[in-house]
Amino acid sequence: MSSAQIEPLGDCALLIRFGERINSALNARALAVTAALQQAKLPGVRDVAPAYASVCVQYDPAIWADPAKALLPFARIAARISELVDNAAFVPTPAMRTSIEIPVCYGGEFGLDLDDLARHARLSVDEVVARHCAPDYRVAMLGFAPGFPYLLGLDPALHAPRRATPRARAPAGSVAIGGAQTGIYPSELPGGWLLIGRTPLTLFDPARETPALLAPGQRLRFRAMSADEISAGELAALTR
């Protein structure tokens, strides 16, 4: 396994970089190193956050200061992390083994861009929905906003450019596509991704013991939900 690049991010964080692409193998390595760092419980490490092809580590530089001042804190912690990176084996974490189903009401008022996506892909709306629901997706990372999942596994036929003019408000629960990515808006946010449906599930709730519904490495599948299946509570969630 080739060594990763470890770069300083200011004086209290560093970035472990495995590549520059959206790639399943690179993301698997980032998740494996994240798990290894979390299990190692290095002193002074405050947070470990994976991305598509990198891992950000926030740490307390005072803990890693060299009494002899021969090495900067970054050099000391980077050397220790480099050992963990080289020895990290890809072992599925509980989050990777656990799959969750995301019910989605596609199209209409809940998916304003579904028809445009179908035209772009030269597919029927039903085929777009079927292709979006078919894959077993993996949460590559959370970012942009608390609880926003970036998902790996989108059918290439559904890749589509973002909107030329972003919306000021994408409703909470909006399932969307941007380029080669698909994801879910956890709250009402501005955004330029194509909105194709909406889920009544709450992706982020600070009052929950675990605020984010999804975690990096978790598996999920989308399920099309018909209007007949929407309960009063789900309808309220979809339209709020």
Q: Which domains does the chain have, with CATH numbers?
A: 5-87 (3.30.1360.40), 94-239 (2.40.100.10)
Residues 6+ apart with CB under 8 A from 89: 32
Q: Are 175 and 197 in contact (CB under 8 A)?
A: yes
Residue-wise pLDDT tens digits, 166-202:
999 999 999 999 999 999 999 999 999 999 999 999 9
The proportion of the chain whose per-residue pLDDT surpasses 90, expressed as a percent, equals 80
What is the residue-wise DSSP string for 49-93? EE-SSEEEEEE-TTTT--TT-SS-HHHHHHHHHHHHHHH------
DSSP bridge partners of 105? 198
For residue 83, pLDDT beyond 60 = yes
Q: Which amino acid is at 45?
A: V
What Rg, from alpha-carbon coordinates, does the chain have? Answer: 20
- pTM of the full predicted structure? 0.86
Hey, what's the torsion of the CAs at 233, 235, 236, 237, to 10 degrees? 90
| 77 has pLDDT over 60 | yes
Longest dimension (CA), the chain: 70
pLDDT at 1: 43
Whether residue 122 is predicted with pLDDT greater than 90 in this model: the reply is: yes
- The residue ranking higher by pLDDT, 211 or 230, is 211
Q: What is the pLDDT of residue 236?
A: 58
